[in-house]
Structure 1
């Protein structure tokens, strides 16, 4: 199961006629949020005689067992209860969740105190959160405390979702957790407009994900602000542990949060000792790590970048006598759960993990955090070290850094920017497709996976691209995706139960499902066409039998669906103009991603206290205006760390020639530069270049210089093609072959179609890669 909820058809057949409307609230005027003031840290809650605050304190004691609020919790809660949109920026583990959980419980009591009678109930609080596991953990805890809370995600059975829906519309539920992806389900959005008592509060967890300049931008978060307007939520609270001033501005602008209602707590933790060591290369890190772990016993998290690194480093530690295990997203769910449980119980002292480990970890006695590689961002670093020493006892956070660390970070950043021609071809394909006329409007259907492969654009930037077309250009709107393939396994009772099912959908499935070997296959679209049934009825019947153990259903082949909002640009001039705007945005994001890694480097190589530099990154400072913490590496040594210089080699023309010889792609110089640099992409996989000797063979080169050289080679091929007899045979923007495994005869066939790339190679080599370009 994916950690993220993708949304489904759970409410597709709900009828809303006659439902009571939510209490409506006019949108508050947005204040100028461009220059948010820095709020001073408050060590304790200010005294207040207001009934609202007393209610919140009472809930804190009775439901959560705490004697008092910490830092700015009380002020943030009071602001929410007074109806203000609010932003909370607290460090990891500082109790952000109480800032929406307590108001959610308090609304009903406040209505009683104010003698306010809301028709059909006190309304609900919706919590938008990115991880299913975190949502489930919080709802389980709240239920044990007697709070009516539920998590609505794709793992729920049909009966469970119906029960949740019933509880919402009977006024029994107080908190509903859901993933941002669910907001693409228009039936869900429509249902939330008719909640008895209204939507009292929307809590947006991990709110930094809304900002394109945040460390963890997720395009689905851009739609959360629109959702709050569409369902007329009374107020919003945004919560994050990592927000720079720029990201804070983005959040405040999207959710109309006024300056006085931004509450921040410094990330400074006096019990954390921030240390760093510079090495010449990776190999030099090993003895330093072994020495550190022997000197600093206790629960330890070691963060690495790649899954293979986690496995190999855990093995190396075991070879040195340490009890260590690895953890990454590629492991089975039950294995990961077991490791996490044993680490929480202190049965495993050391976990070597990727960033997949740590979200929701609330272990108070983690003594050490080690960054084996440079973190991708200062925000990531802050979150990771924030998991240490939550019991207030001294803890150590060590980072090892060497020049080689920067390669993998640049690899990730460069991989998200496709070539301009790939983007242009994608837009032309999508906008010139046939639409379907449906009750939802004119709808485009497409598979993101297929588009990613066809146009060599990774899934993440592809999602950002479609969100931009939706929210910035208003061309289309994502609606509930569909699965194209349904198969099921007979669990030994399908035949007797299905053959006697008298419902229309039951009869339809029994009549149209065909068996091939062990599995039954059902063509949903054809079944709908022949029976006239709604898709949701058929899916709900499959889910019902699945949940009863009659069959085991597997759905696959996700089709993303978009409703057309206005006429799509199809003319060449229009497509070129849109491509330029989108590509410029993507280039900006690439530059920003590259800069973030250097911000981490600058933090620990600058002439400044690490703790102060970290606080200043988030627009804050140390308590009492201090300029140093007194116990980080800089404060102790009074010397700035210096990275060893890494000289960039001159362009290896023979290496470039080897790549041109191995791969006859000539339509995309960025693709060739990716191969040289070792950047994986859908097209690299398609052409089976990932294991070729040339893949990553020039990873020590400057990427921009590689791009320049391959641009010259492609321009040469283009020029020679225009002069040759096969000039009319233009290459596709998303095809190509590798030539090395098929020999020169195969390359010769490719040359005939592509304007003789072997000739362009010879031309490139003869000029020594001088970069003179076409016609030189």
Structure 2
């Protein structure tokens, strides 16, 4: 089944205002910054026992004699029931900070070191849930845990029906210790509901890549906003957030979301003395390949080469292969089987080089990666730091090279400039949501809006990623709506063995409704859960729960599709274009600020590598820390070795191509959106550009060597001549 959930009203009893204002509260209601009275007298011995148990597991299960850096302190506080934030660089052992507690809880219970609140605690030791963004990361860690005899599993979209059924059985029969899942699965009503009844409860929720929670993190993901709510709903005992790339501002956001005290933030410097950071400026991108071949001839060992786009990964891998290198490519567009094969071959050493887009490498536990090459400039310092941190985890010297080229700056700006919709598009999007979309009633009397985000994206020329952020911002900034569990528009099922007998033996009203109202085709039954619930007087929740139960028992095999996002209306929404216009102005200003911030992040990477200072020192100071032992330089980066900054060729500043501007205006009659026209000139795709097939014409990207702001200025003038008012107040 998909990682997205079918919908019901499971979340309607949550205090939305409280969540919006304060984020998730600690699961321990007694925590107020002081020790619990019943713990105070035993604190010293409890700390010692927790540390002793953790060290024993570290040695027996993982083969290490001692913890590194801040691992011991973080694990101890988790075992004592605290919420914790761990900010360790890539390769510093973040995963042990939740894996060891996940294994330790049965021993803690046996030693009387925990105070279990729920009755479920008396029948099991519970599980640890790890929220992680990538299937590759989950697979790698689960495989490693299983090799050590630790019961672990991951629920993801690659799992077969039988595999999911087996995982559910292990979980609810107390055999599973650690469960990995994607943040999107937290929308799945069956999953959320079942987590409330796991024997022993949810002892710990580990939030990997926790910087995704913060809108000021380098890869903000709206789905991560729901993790804090999930923690509250399932009454998780404690939380650990983990990231390699949290600036002080991002760390503060994460701590607020999960009520983490400052004393429970554990940081380790991102500085790695065995990593040699280098950069080289090139005149054109054509010069890169020969430099890459030269580097690979001089530097042996497993190597990752990072590129920006999928096609580039395939072409570069093919070129390296033709030059005799053992190489594979990896990007999100490849079949899952191919991606898993590439990961396995790289881990086993049968492939030396992987040319990949940003996703590859997260969570890959390969200690002997010798080289990281950035064929293109990274989009942020956080991304750069995370990727170079994948080299040399065994402590041996490793090399990280980044090729700087003015030609590549266009591609980075292309990504940034494509996410900000025009003011007009944003206004029309909000009018569609609040004035045109139908609303339906909830059992508690509230109202809900159902949105098809794919349709909204196409209708209003807004990319999928910024659309998700827009909806999250409406929720969090303005408090108008609250995302609740999405629902599927289509439910089908295939009967299992003895279906007819088993469904009739189930005397529940929901089972009778499913049996009596499902329509059979050749192989699959179809049921309209909304219509059936209304006809027979049941809650949609009851039908969905029963379908999931029958699916888990093998009575039927459920297939769902057509995700529809749902939003509960929290207070009276804007009712006129003028009222919506006020929100548009504020929201658009925020998105403009985010675009400016994204451009600054990209420029900061260039500044770090071309400034007159040690690369390692600049990188460490960006994250609010310093080099160890008062060092002012690493001694082996490009700047330290040469004593000179890397110098880029001067930035081109062509005069405006008036003929090129006119050619675009002649080919496209749009005059209400200067940004849309500037995107065409710069070569930026959007839903509207694709619909009009303008990306297939010669004008698309014809002025990509121009500054985007200069193009926007020229097209604004052209639209004004046609009657467009950029300062128009809506309504």
The normalised TM-score by structure 2 is: 0.86
2:386 aligned with 1:383: yes
2:581 aligned with 1:576: yes
Q: Matches of 1:24 and 1:547 in 2, distance apart?
A: 29
Instruction: Give the structure 1 partner of residue 418 of structure 2.
Output: 415
Instruction: Give the structure 1 partner of residue 357 of structure 2.
Output: 354
Deviation per CA, 1:202-259, whole angstroms, max 9, x where unpaired? 3221111111111111112223234434555443221101111221222223223222
C-alpha spacing 1:561/1:155, structure 2 compared with 1 (3 Å): farther
CA contact (8 A) 1:10 1:161 kept: no
CA contact (8 A) 1:184 1:478 kept: no
CA contact (8 A) 2:8 2:540 kept: no
Q: Matches of 1:644 and 1:472 in 2, distance apart?
A: 43
Deviation per CA, 1:277-311, whole angstroms, max 9, x where unpaired? 10011011121111111111222111110111112
- Partner SS, residue 184 of structure 2: helix
Offset, 1:523? 5.1
Instruction: Give the structure 1 partner of residue 77 of structure 2.
Output: 79
Q: Matches of 1:709 and 1:117 in 2, distance apart?
A: 67
- Partner SS, residue 696 of structure 2: coil
Instruction: Give the structure 2 partner of residue 504 of structure 1.
Output: 512
Q: Matches of 1:619 and 1:24 in 2, distance apart?
A: 30
C-alpha spacing 1:341/1:680, structure 2 compared with 1 (3 Å): same
Structure 2: unaligned runs, 5 residues or longer = 12-24, 35-44, 505-510
Q: Matches of 1:116 and 1:253 in 2, distance apart?
A: 25
Deviation per CA, 1:430-486, whole angstroms, max 9, x where unpaired? 112221113364221110000000111111111111112222322222222222245
CA contact (8 A) 1:157 1:543 kept: no
2:191 aligned with 1:177: no
Deviation per CA, 1:726-764, whole angstroms, max 9, x where unpaired? xxxx9x99xxxxxxxxxxxxxxxxxxxxxxxxxxxxxxx
2:441 aligned with 1:437: yes
CA contact (8 A) 1:120 1:171 kept: no
Instruction: Give the structure 2 partner of residue 125 of structure 1.
Output: 128
Q: Matches of 1:326 and 1:182 in 2, distance apart?
A: 28
CA contact (8 A) 2:5 2:189 kept: no
Task: Describe how 1:458-477 pairs up with structure 2 within 5 A.
Answer: 458-477=463-482
Offset, 1:350? 1.7
Residue number among 691, 709, 716 corresponding to 1:711 in the alignment: 716
C-alpha spacing 1:531/1:144, structure 2 compared with 1 (3 Å): farther
Instruction: Give the structure 1 partner of residue 600 of structure 2.
Output: 595
CA contact (8 A) 1:323 1:350 kept: yes
Residue number among 692, 702, 722 corresponding to 1:687 in the alignment: 692
Q: Matches of 1:23 and 1:259 in 2, distance apart?
A: 15
Deviation per CA, 1:531-554, whole angstroms, max 9, x where unpaired? 666656776787799899999876
Aligned residues: 693
Instruction: Give the structure 2 partner of residue 395 of structure 1.
Output: 398
Instruction: Give the structure 1 partner of residue 16 of structure 2.
Output: none
CA contact (8 A) 1:30 1:256 kept: no
Offset, 1:62? 2.2
Offset, 1:527? 5.4
- Partner SS, residue 326 of structure 1: strand
Instruction: Give the structure 1 partner of residue 616 of structure 2.
Output: 611
Instruction: Give the structure 2 partner of residue 345 of structure 1.
Output: 348
Q: Matches of 2:196 and 2:528 in 1, distance apart?
A: 33
Q: Matches of 2:163 and 2:603 in 1, distance apart?
A: 48
Task: Describe how 1:12-91 pairs up with structure 2 within 5 A.
Answer: 25-26=28-29, 28-29=31-32, 50-91=48-89
CA contact (8 A) 1:274 1:398 kept: yes
Offset, 1:26? 2.0
Offset, 1:180? 2.4
Instruction: Give the structure 1 partner of residue 39 of structure 2.
Output: none
Instruction: Give the structure 2 partner of residue 448 of structure 1.
Output: 453
Deviation per CA, 1:29-60, whole angstroms, max 9, x where unpaired? 579xxxxxxxxxxxxxxx99812211111121
C-alpha spacing 1:536/1:159, structure 2 compared with 1 (3 Å): farther
Task: Describe how 1:78-117 pairs up with structure 2 within 5 A.
Answer: 78-114=76-112
Task: Describe how 1:4-403 pairs up with structure 2 within 5 A.
Answer: 5-8=3-6, 25-26=28-29, 28-29=31-32, 50-114=48-112, 118=116, 119-121=119-121, 122-143=125-146, 145-153=148-156, 173-185=176-188, 189=192, 192=195, 197-403=200-406
Q: Matches of 1:6 and 1:200 in 2, distance apart?
A: 24
Instruction: Give the structure 1 partner of residue 565 of structure 2.
Output: 560
C-alpha spacing 1:161/1:322, structure 2 compared with 1 (3 Å): closer
Q: Matches of 1:552 and 1:505 in 2, distance apart?
A: 17
C-alpha spacing 1:646/1:583, structure 2 compared with 1 (3 Å): same
- Partner SS, residue 563 of structure 1: strand
Offset, 1:197? 5.0
Deviation per CA, 1:553-590, whole angstroms, max 9, x where unpaired? 76432211112222111223321221122112111111
CA contact (8 A) 2:140 2:364 kept: no
Q: Matches of 1:24 and 1:677 in 2, distance apart?
A: 50
Q: Matches of 1:357 and 1:497 in 2, distance apart?
A: 43
Structure 1: unaligned runs, 5 residues or longer = 14-21, 32-46, 721-729, 734-776
Deviation per CA, 1:131-175, whole angstroms, max 9, x where unpaired? 244334434544554545443456667777677667666766543
CA contact (8 A) 2:682 2:701 kept: yes
2:639 aligned with 1:634: yes
Q: Matches of 2:715 and 2:186 in 1, distance apart?
A: 43
Q: Matches of 2:589 and 2:382 in 1, distance apart?
A: 25
